[in-house]
Structure 1
Amino acid sequence: MSKQAREDFLADAHVGVLSVGGDPGEAPTSVPTFYAYEPGGELTMFTGTQRRAPRRIDRIRKAGVVTFVAQREEMPPAYVTVEAELVSVAPPTVDQMLTIVRRYMPEEHAQGFVHGELDDPENTVLLLTFRPTRWLTSDTSTD
């Protein structure tokens, strides 16, 4: 893919898969996630601190880098993989979360989802921001 094609592909709404390495002898962790990206910008996603997320966030902070994959599910297959460095981990605003979630859900569902995440007293939501540093791509419709 050309630079413009890969950035446009990543900017489309795909469920992405975030992967981060573990300590020696530990398997990498991979998790599907909603995300937002605009060509030339940074990759953002959020995660709560319930379940296994605290360990994943610790791994991301320690590694400082992740691999992120977005793919087209239907034929012909295509994907964009980026290696990306961690820029920040911080509490998100409602608007930042809605920017991500609106890509995947209608407005009424997006509002409910975001407020459900933020209003849960047992969940701390964190916004992860990454800067793409290396790209790997394939689009079998044009290869």
Structure 2
Amino acid sequence: MSRGDREAFLHEARVGVLGVTDGRGDRAPLLVPVWYSYEPGGDVLVQTGRSSLKAKLIRESGRFSLCAQHETPPYRYVSVEGPVVAVDDPLDAADFEALARRYLDPTTAEKYLAANRAQLAEDVAFRMRPQHWRTADFAAFAENFG
């Protein structure tokens, strides 16, 4: 994918899979689905509980990766990896609201926000600067077999 294509793809509302090194013995990296936000040219933002394993491992490693995919043919994905450049603690209420509205319809978002206001005191946001990109778009490949 071109730079513009990969940034536009990552900007779309998709559930991402966050990956972070797990240094607890001989463990594989921690991989968990997350909501995220990304504006082209900017940082990837993810939120999580301040005392969660995910937050602990991100703080320890100082970096994480995120993979987002299109799950139906033709398959596409974008994976980014880079350093944490900021930790928002406490969580910014505007970011919390924007993330809910990114993933939920307006009515459900309102209910989610009302029911989960406590997360503003319990969550933190990590901002990662994309440093390494991996992408694939199998549309052209699929055309050869259509």
Q: Same fold (TM over 0.5)?
A: yes
Give the C-alpha shift of residue 120 in structure 1. 6.0
List per-residue Cα deviations over 1:91-142 (Å, max 9, x = no partner).
Answer: 2222111211211111221122233233269x71111211100100000013
Q: Secondary structure at the residue paired with 1:36?
A: strand
Give the match for residue 79 of structure 1: 77
1:82 and 1:135 in contact (8 A); partners too: yes
In the alignment, is residue 97 of structure 1 matched against residue 96 of structure 2? Answer: yes
**Alignment RMSD (CA, Å):** 1.8
List per-residue Cα deviations over 1:36-89 (Å, max 9, x = no partner).
Answer: 11100011121124xxx6222111011111111000011110000001211222
Q: 1:65 aligns with which of 63, 83, 95?
A: 63
1:117 and 1:125 in contact (8 A); partners too: no
Query: What pairs with 1:109-120 in structure 2 (closer than 5 Å)?
Result: 109-119=108-118
Distance 1:58 1:48 in 2: 10
Larger mean Cα displacement after TM superposition, 33-42 or 87-96: 87-96
In the alignment, is residue 10 of structure 1 matched against residue 10 of structure 2? Answer: yes
2:46 and 2:127 in contact (8 A); partners too: yes
Give the match for residue 27 of structure 1: 28
More helix by proportion, 1 or 2? 2
Instruction: Specify whether residues 120 and 63 from structure 1 end up closer, same or farther in structure 2 by C-alpha distance, changes over 3 A only.
Output: closer
Give 1 or 2 for the bigger CA radius of gyration: 2
Give the match for residue 106 of structure 1: 105
Distance 1:91 1:116 in 2: 19
Percent identical pairs in the alignment equals 34
1:68 and 1:84 in contact (8 A); partners too: no
Query: TM-score by structure 2 length?
Result: 0.86
Aligned length: 139
Instruction: Flag structure 1 segments of 5+ consecutive residues without an equivalent.
Output: none
Distance 1:125 1:118 in 2: 10
Query: TM-score by structure 1 length?
Result: 0.88
In the alignment, is residue 44 of structure 1 matched against residue 45 of structure 2? Answer: yes
Instruction: Specify whether residues 26 and 41 from structure 1 end up closer, same or farther in structure 2 by C-alpha distance, changes over 3 A only.
Output: same
2:49 and 2:55 in contact (8 A); partners too: no
